[in-house]
Amino acid sequence: MNQPGTPTMTTQTQTCSSEEKATIGIGLLGLGTVGTGVYKLVNRTPGLDVIKIAVRDPGKERPGLLAPDQAKLTTHVDEVLEHPDVAIVVELMGGMDEAYRVIKQALSAGKHVVTANKMVIAHHGPELFALANAHQVNLLFEGAVAGGIPIVLPLKVSLAANRIEQIAGILNGTTNYILTRMEQDHGLAFETALADAQHLGFAEADPTADVEGHDAACKVAILGSLAFGKPFSPKDVYTEGIARLTPADMAMADELGYRIRLLALAKPWPSSDNTQGYDIRVHPMLVPADHPLAKVTFENNAIWVQGDAVGETMFYGKGAGELPTASAVSGDINLVAASLASHQSDSPCGGHPTQHPGMRVSFASSTPHPIVPIAETTNAYYIRLTANDVPGVMGALGMACGDCDVSLHAVLQKGTDEATNSASIVLLTHCVQEGKLQAALDRIRALPQTRDVQTVLRVFDSI
Amino acid sequence: MNQPGTPTMTTQTQTCSSEEKATIGIGLLGLGTVGTGVYKLVNRTPGLDVIKIAVRDPGKERPGLLAPDQAKLTTHVDEVLEHPDVAIVVELMGGMDEAYRVIKQALSAGKHVVTANKMVIAHHGPELFALANAHQVNLLFEGAVAGGIPIVLPLKVSLAANRIEQIAGILNGTTNYILTRMEQDHGLAFETALADAQHLGFAEADPTADVEGHDAACKVAILGSLAFGKPFSPKDVYTEGIARLTPADMAMADELGYRIRLLALAKPWPSSDNTQGYDIRVHPMLVPADHPLAKVTFENNAIWVQGDAVGETMFYGKGAGELPTASAVSGDINLVAASLASHQSDSPCGGHPTQHPGMRVSFASSTPHPIVPIAETTNAYYIRLTANDVPGVMGALGMACGDCDVSLHAVLQKGTDEATNSASIVLLTHCVQEGKLQAALDRIRALPQTRDVQTVLRVFDSI
């Protein structure tokens, strides 16, 4: 444990004659829940020393802050960025524009940067990685995807020899919590499950970013970029949320042997053997009940990675939260610190900050690589509709599908409503191009027997 | 892709004037199934070049070997170890004594070593890590534990800020396959499931190392050493196998809401807040059916890691096999290569091989750290026994337990056999020290009503 207030020796001030082991100076931007967690973990790590902490309100009560560190607080970000003893800047301010500006400034000043900011990495990653490379410093972001779950480092290093065939992630804890509740409390409406999640602190007052899949889209754009070495923009990621799912869908999925999960997918298109593009998207899917992803419940996250050598592998854990995210951020800090310490011992009298070998991110272009349009992707589908309960309905549905090259895997008629003379029908298709499926849906909607197409979902892991 | 036969530039022969990008020379020891997989993956990685390959039988047909590389084969390990262009030695010979000798020789010669040899790392790790540190080279071993699953790097780097509270691993695919088969085919005997596993290539002709838990003991000794920074000897790991489990135990576990898994445990003892020792062991356990580890089936492996910051996390995948293990080995090779390449670009005219920052393993002592004796560990227990079907049995059992401080959580009498006038009884205890449980078992066995205590299992994740 470092003694706060003790003079520290840093990379910049180190002298050759000293026998003392140098410490690495840390500058914190933000001291919210994650920041406080990082502060605690850094404080118990030998060789690291928090030099300066930028906060919005220095007068706020902070029970986690050691008394002597009160003097390290500042409202001026520049005091952190320009402090000569700060070697690693840890950005935990949140938001996008200011965080982006600050990270850019830090990298340009030759500081290493560790961040958990998925928005900045997803939207400005290529520019910032290029800047980091130009200045030979690290920009690490393990905490930006799936909280405490180590996925960036394994994907970047451990699985580097693989051609990645598919990534399928449950990357948003809020939506997984809501789906698990709806799955376990039969009949529970989306709105009620969301309200419960908000009450428990698993969902924000404005849940749009989570519920509509935008949060997961940022994260899967980052994972896709790491896996395929191309920059992808989250704006190009096709996104559907979970707000329109009903208890009837949960019940039907269960009966068919599936669970519904909001999955973030990234894969080469049309296949890893013949890569012509990349298929990256976020939407709810039917997942076979015995698949490991179907068993990920409540606020947990998981990332399923298939590689041509490693086969199928999965990383599971808490996707958010103060300490899990702080764990990931601190892992990155330790990695940079090890690199700096090793550099110091190599050339004690000089040298400049170096990038950690294996941690360099580089893309051939900073222009986002296009993503295959959803209409060109291939999926199996679940279609739930109501139709008039009259003879010939099944035949008409079958014809509508067949005319568009959509082949049916299963057809279920579940119950008829005598009062309205209607039948609830579920179709499960074989794999087909989305464009053809949409054409079939247009025909189905136009059938005189069709009352309403309620839900269309894609099916995971289908052939 | 490297062109075989092309002259390569290596760390040793690089000159400053050359604009050509240097390649890193790889020496392979062993070209069996994993070796062939590594050869394929290395060959498709730019910047890596296989220089020499040591094999036992150079005349053997090797369909995976490119024709020009036939000339790289040798039966003399020294030709690989002493080749000036070999920077990284990849040991995939298997066995223990020769592999140990060869790794030692390679490290002493200043070569980086990558191995998947769990026996050598578990038994000789401390000595070899010290040697690697002394020569400033890497000794990496991701493939030695849980095949393709990235666990060494995440544990060493990503989770480094955590105090590890518990590791619980399904580290042996053979035994997990057998247990899954017994669980799913009601009534299937251990011997039949083992024969099936052997037939399918999931178990060896002599299955002792897998079935008795010795294989898992090696792996958990390595994981424990990484997590707690102390060297542990696999010889000190308490080990029980799965050979005595019966269909009756599978059925009873299922009825009680559990699955039986061969778990490898490593945790601070008595707790992570008050660490006085380390509790490391391998034995079958009852795992609650809704726990992620219970859902790991067939030949898959998984490692459950609890840290004080990250919370509960799990790493899942194929624990063995040609390509998964080759994936892990190649990840390590790439990591060393990145380190060498970065070192070259830092100081193109000189310098020596350096250790990869963050990858250094060091222990205060090379003497194995003691492991807490099983009698001092605390567990909940499942006890299955048969007793005479007479009044007073339950009372006698309860007294025998109570006298030894063993408190019962549940007691089940499952069926009576009228022919033999016996009853099958299961006791589930609360957590208690193993020594007290053994004393209670002695009393139970001595009861006049007891016919036989068939099975005693510990319970995972119990309070």
pLDDT tens digits for B362-374? 776 778 999 999 9
Q: Is the predicted pLDDT of residue B80 greater than 70, yes or no?
A: yes
A interface mutation test: which of B24, B90, B140, B157 has the most A CBs within 10 A? B157
B324/A338 touch (CB, cutoff 8 Å), yes or no = no
Kindly report the nearest CA distance between residue A355 and chain B, in angstroms. Answer: 8
Record: contact B309-A334, CB cut-off 8 A: no
- Is B45 within 8 Å of A161 when comparing Cβ atoms? yes
The single-letter code of the amino acid at B330 is S
Q: pLDDT confidence of A357, banded at 50, 70, 90? A: confident
A159 chain-B contacts, CB cut-off 8 A: 150, 327, 331
- Nearest neighbour of A309 by CB, restricted to B159, B323, B354: B323
Confidence tier at B351 by pLDDT (50, 70, 90)? very low
Which tens digit of pLDDT belongs to each residue from A303-353?
A: 999 999 999 999 999 998 899 999 999 999 999 998 888 776 554 433 444
A158/B153 touch (CB, cutoff 8 Å), yes or no: yes
- Which of A311, A328, A355 comes nearest B148 by C-beta? A311
Q: What integer pLDDT is reported at residue A348 of this predicted model?
A: 41
Of B308, B331, B351, the CB nearest to A159: B331
Q: How confident is the model at residue A383 (pLDDT cuts 50, 70, 90)?
A: very high
Residue of A nearest to B154 (CA): A150
Distance from CA of A148 to the nearest CA of B (A): 5
The catalytic residue positions of A are 219
User: Average model confidence (pLDDT) for chain A?
Assistant: 91
Size of interface A-B (CB pairs under 8 A): 177
Residues of B in contact with A355 (CB under 8 A): 342
Asked whether the beta carbons of residue B328 and residue A310 sit closer than 8 angstroms, the reply is yes
Q: Where residue B348 falls among pLDDT bands split at 50, 70, 90?
A: very low
3-state secondary structure chain A: CCCCCCCCCCCCCCCCCCCCCCCEEEEEECCCHHHHHHHHHHHCCCCEEEEEEECCCCCCCCCCCCHHHHHHEECCHHHHHCCCCCCEEEECCCCCHHHHHHHHHHHHCCCEEEECCHHHHHHHHHHHHHHHHHCCCCEECHHHCCCCCCCHHHHHHHCCCCCEEEEEEECCHHHHHHHHHHHHCCCCCHHHHHHHHHHCCCCCCCCHHHHCCHHHHHHHHHHHHHHHCCCCCHHHCEECCCCCCCHHHHHHHHHCCEEEEEEEEEEEEECCCCEEEEEEEEEEEEEECCCHHHHCCCCEEEEEEEECCCEEEEEEEECCCHHHHHHHHHHHHHHHHHHHHHHHHHCCCCCCCCCCCCCCCCCCCCCCCCCCCHHHCEEEEEEEEEEECCCCHHHHHHHHHHHCCCCEEEEEEEEEECCCCEEEEEEEECCEEHHHHHHHHHHHHHCCCEEEEEEEEEECCCC
Q: Which residue has the higher pLDDT, B5 or A364?
A: A364
Residue B196 pLDDT greater than 50, yes or no: yes
CA distance to partner chain B, nearest, from residue A41 (Å): 6
Nearest CA in chain A to B43: A161
Q: Please report residues of B whose CB lies closer than 8 A to that of A295.
A: 292, 295
Backbone angles phi, psi at B286, to 5 degrees: -80, 125
Residue of A nearest to B315 (CA): A315
Q: How far apart are CA A304 and CA A321, in angstroms?
A: 21
With CB atoms and an 8 Å threshold, state whether B309 touches A330. Answer: yes
- Chain B residues with CB inside 8 Å of A87's CB? none
| Nearest residue of B to residue A37, measured between CA atoms | B309
Cα nearest neighbour of B328 on chain A: A158
pLDDT of residue B463: 53
Q: Quick check: B316 and A318 CB within 8 A?
A: no
pLDDT bracket for residue A142 (50, 70, 90): very high
Our CA-based measurement puts residue B162 at a distance from the nearest CA of chain A, in whole angstroms, of 7
Least confident piece of the model among A23-27, A36-40, A85-89, B410-414: B410-414
Residues A241-277: tens digit of each pLDDT = 999 999 999 999 999 999 999 999 999 999 999 999 9
Instruction: Pick the residue from chain A with its C-alpha nearest to B324.
Output: A310
CA distance A448 to chain B (A): 47
Please indicate whether, in this complex, the C-beta atoms of A161 and B333 are within 8 angstroms of each other. yes
Task: Note the pTM of the prediction, 2 decimals.
Answer: 0.93
**B338 contacts on A by Cβ (under 8 Å):** 357-358, 360
Both structure tokens of B256: 């009680």
CB within 8 Å: A330 and B317: no
Which of A293, A342, A344, A355 has the highest number of chain B CBs within 10 A, making it the mutation to test binding with B?
A342
**pLDDT range class, residue A463, cuts 50, 70, 90:** low
Instruction: From B129, B215, B139, select the one nearest B175 (Cα to Cα).
Output: B215
Q: Provide the ipTM.
A: 0.92
Instruction: Give the chain B residue whose CA is nearest to the CA of A289.
Output: B295
Strand-pairing partners, residue A54, are A29, A74
Do B310 and A316 make contact, defined as CB atoms within 8 angstroms? no
Tell me which chain A residue has its CA closest to the CA of residue B48. Answer: A161
Catalytic residues of B: 219
Pick the more confident residue, A364 or A228. Answer: A228
* Residue to substitute from B153, B303, B346, B360, interface A, most A β-carbons within 10 A: B346
Exposed e or buried b per residue across A248-287, where buried means at least 16 C-beta atoms within 10 angstroms of its C-beta? ebbebbeebebbbbbbbbbbbbbebeeeeebbbbbbbbbb
Q: Which residues of B touch A333 (CB under 8 A)?
A: 161
* Record: contact B148-A316, CB cut-off 8 A: no
> B37: nearest CA in chain A?
A309
**How close, in Å, is residue B37 to chain A by CA atoms?**
8
Q: Does B432 score more than 70 pLDDT? A: yes
Chain B positions touching A180 (Cβ under 8 A) are none
B341 contacts in chain A (CB < 8 Å) = 357
CB contact under 8 A, A338 and B357: yes
Bigger pLDDT: B354 vs B442: B442
Closest partner residue to B158 among A161, A316, A328, by Cβ? A328
Q: Do A153 and B157 touch (CB under 8 A)?
A: yes
Lowest-confidence pick of A274-278, B19-23, B366-370, B385-389: B19-23
Tell me the percentage of chain B whose pLDDT exceeds 90.
84
Nearest beta carbon to residue A318 from set B311, B321, B335: B311
Q: Where are the alpha helices (DSSP H) in B109-244?
A: 118-134, 152-153, 173-184, 190-199, 208-211, 214-228
Best residue in A167, A272, A314, A339 for a mutation probing chain B (most B CBs within 10 Å):
A314
| Chain B residues lying within 8 Å of A334, measured CB to CB | 157, 160-161, 358
pLDDT at B21: 58
Query: Nearest CA of chain A to the CA of B326: how many Å?
Result: 7
Q: Which residues of chain B does A310 touch, with a Cβ-Cβ cutoff of 8 Å?
A: 148, 317-318, 323-324, 327-328
Do B356 and A357 count as a contact with CB atoms less than 8 A apart? yes
What is the rounded average pLDDT of the residues A73-94?
97
Among the partner residues A148, A295, A335, nearest to B310 by beta-carbon distance: A148
Nearest Cα of chain B lies from the Cα of A458 at a distance, in angstroms, of 25
